[in-house]
Structure formats: structure tokens, C-alpha cells
Chains A and B, each alone.
Chain A
Amino acid sequence: MADPVATRDVRVSPHGTAVTPGARVVQVQKSLMTHNDGVAAANRAAFKGCLVLNIVSSPGSGKTALLERSVRELAGDLRVAVVVGDLETDNDAVRIHAAGAPSVQIVTGTVCHLEAEMVARAVDQLDLAGLDVLVIENVGNLVCPASWDLGEDLRVTLLSTTEGEDKPLKYPRIFKDADAVVINKVDIAEAVGFERERALDAVAKVSPGTPVFELSARTGEGMDAWLAFVRERLAAKRG
């Protein structure tokens, strides 16, 4: 048999990291996320027909406010629970509980993101089988949470009008991987000089085709389209 055609995929090692001549090489080819991804897959299986959202944003862009209003408006016919991650305090879990949903606070201490195992332990405290929607509110951070799969169905990246239109350009990964983008605080957009077209253009360039929901969790403006999207994805998951 003739020798196969020699190929070299330049992507494998564009800068080349040489192996010491004569060294014994062991192939590994495993992700540093192997452990987390395994737990995330187990979470996904355990969630069954419950729609799971992972909400990520920078601190102060209104994740909790969005969840408070979403919980209130969905609670009429859906069973919703929330898992909230913060470095310290259970303030957010208290707010969501007051809005009418069972909530579990994960206090991460100094950890800048949630990991699948933290979520697995937190949902042990919930009756998963009795839920329609589980929302995981990640730690406020636009960098680290992007790398950790928690077992969610949808990753929702939230941006507020006070943050600047170029956030998607500055933190591309977390917008690129989003299944939906929410632009919050549209009620004060004018006062803070928010340039809507520039923000939408930035999202469209970084994450083309991703649905964008412009709303105000405070006034309720734009909430209907967002909630319809959640209901539609729940129905789609349950086939």
C-alpha cells in the first residue's frame, strides 16, 4: 500500500511547541473542562423536561430585577425556581423568594463564576420534578462564566443601557455563546445617551442571528416578548 499523503494541519500548532528529541510522548487530547462537562451532562439529564436558563451579565445590569418580574409574570401558570450565585450575601435569593419562587443562594466566596458541581448541589434542595422553568443567575461577570457549562438549555446574556454599546465587542465570547441577548433598562436609555443602533450592530456582528429582547425589568416594557420566548422554548423542549 502506498504511503498516505502527508498533511500538516497548521492549526494544531501554529507557533510550534517543540517536543524534546528522544522524549517519550503520551497523547492525552482531553479538555481541562472534562470534569465540569461530565457534571453538566449529568445535570442536563436530571433536568429532564424542565427548561433551564443560565443568565450571565456584568454586576448591576439587572439580572435579579429581570428574574423578579419574570417570576411574578410566569408564576400564574408555570412553576419556576431560581438558583442564584453571588460572592457574598443571600440578598438576591431573598428578593426572588419574595417575588414568589423557591430560590437557592450559592455563595461562591471568591469564585468568579458558577460551576456545574455547585449547581448540582444547589438543585438537590429543589423539587426538580415539580418545575417547569429553572433559572440560574450566574455571578455578575462577563468573562469567567462563559467557559463553564452548567447543563442549561439556554444561555442568556444580559446587557444594560448604562453599560455602553460596545460591551459585546469587549467581551465577545459571552455574547458569541448566547442563545438570547437581553438589553435591560431601556426606560432610561435616553437619559444615559444609549445609542441603540450601535448596540444592536455590535450584538449582530459578534453573535449573528441571536434573538435580542429590549426591555425594562423595572417598568415592564418589552417583557411580553421575552416571556413569550421563554414559553416557546419550554414548549419546544417538551415537544
Chain B
Amino acid sequence: MHEFGLVISMIDLAEEAARKEGADVIEAIHVEIGALSGVVPEALEFAFGGARAGTMAATARLEVTYLPAIAYCATCQSEFELDNRFGIAMCPTCDTPSADLRQGREMHVSHLEVA
């Protein structure tokens, strides 16, 4: 349960970017959350509801894009999406586990809608 701290960072990043653009109000914050980021989108939304008061994002929507985990198979030289809930990156073509995770750890603010 560290989503509250993450949400404070998220609002800080959003306000900084919005101010730089001369905006007054943040209408939406778009974030990308990877499957293996350890962040629970629902908990993030809950924390956002509590943290946004008094900020430029006081009435903003939080839009979460959930990114599936993607690994790279060196044998097949191709990327594949992890299809199991255990986070095992087993190549569907050659059945070899991969240590090369290309996507899934993200927790990014991607863009904002401002006014």
C-alpha cells in the first residue's frame, strides 16, 4: 500500500508540466501502469481521490492504461506477451524462459489534458 506516495509524485509531475505550459487546470492525468509494476490501478484511483484536493488536479480524471508484460526471446529474436499470471516469461514458440523483460515495470505519467 504505497499508492498514496506514488499519487503525490504523480500530481507533482503533472502540476510541474501543466505550469510549464501556462495551464490553470488539469482536466485529466493519463498514466501507464505495467503488469509487473507492483501498482494496483484501483488502489491508485482510490488514493488519487484523496490526494487531489487543493491541487491543480482537484477535479481531474485519472485515466489508467494497463500495459501487459512483454519479454524478448533471444533464440527466436522476437518479443512476446506474457500469458500467465505468475509473470513467467516463457517463449510460446521455443518454450525457453526469458530474463529480458521489455515492458511491464512502467509507472509513467504519459500526458495530461489541461485548460
Which A residue sits closest to B44, measured CB to CB? A32
Partner of A147, one of B12, B38, B108: B38
Chain A positions 127 through 171: 1 when the CB is less than 8 Å from some CB of chain B, otherwise 0: 000000000000000011011000000000000000000000110
Give the residue among B2, B17, B66 with the most A Cβ atoms within 10 A: B2
Which B residue sits closest to A110, measured CB to CB? B1
Q: Which residues of B contact A7 (CB under 8 A)?
A: none
Partner of B115, one of A15, A24, A206: A24
- Cβ contact within 8 Å between B99 and A207: yes
Q: Which residues of A contact B98 (CB under 8 A)?
A: 208
Give the residue among A11, A13, A34, A205 with the most B Cβ atoms within 10 A: A11
B50 CB, nearest partner CB in chain A, Å: 16
B65 CB, nearest partner CB in chain A, Å: 5
- Cβ contact within 8 Å between B108 and A29: yes
> How many pairs of A and B residues are in contact by the CB < 8 Å rule?
129
Interface residues on A, range: 35 or more
Q: Which residues of B contact A34 (CB under 8 A)?
A: 9, 13
A38 CB, nearest partner CB in chain B, Å: 11
Chain B positions 98 through 112: 1 when the CB is less than 8 Å from some CB of chain A, otherwise 0: 110101011111111
A185 within 8 A of B: no
What separation, in Å, do the CA atoms of A207 and B107 have in the docked complex? 21
- Contacting B at CB under 8 A, from A1-37, are 11-20, 23-35
Assuming the A-B contacts A30-B13, A32-B9, are A173 and B87 also in contact, with contact meaning beta carbons closer than 8 angstroms in the complex?
A: yes
A58 within 8 A of B: no
Q: Which residues of B contact A32 (CB under 8 A)?
A: 6, 9-10, 13, 31, 39, 107-109
B57 within 8 A of A: no
What separation, in Å, do the CA atoms of A27 and B110 have in the docked complex? 6
What separation, in Å, do the CA atoms of A30 and B20 have in the docked complex? 14
A112 within 8 A of B: yes
B2 CB, nearest partner CB in chain A, Å: 5
Partner of A28, one of B6, B23, B90, B109: B109
- Complex A-B: 22 CB contacts under 8 Å: A12-B65, A14-B67, A17-B30, A18-B63, A20-B113, A23-B28, A26-B21, A26-B111, A30-B13, A31-B107, A32-B9, A32-B13, A32-B31, A33-B107, A35-B9, A112-B1, A113-B2, A172-B86, A172-B87, A173-B87, A173-B105, A206-B88
Binding site for B on A (CB under 8 A): 11-20, 23-35, 111-113, 143-144, 146-147, 169-170, 172-173, 176, 204-210
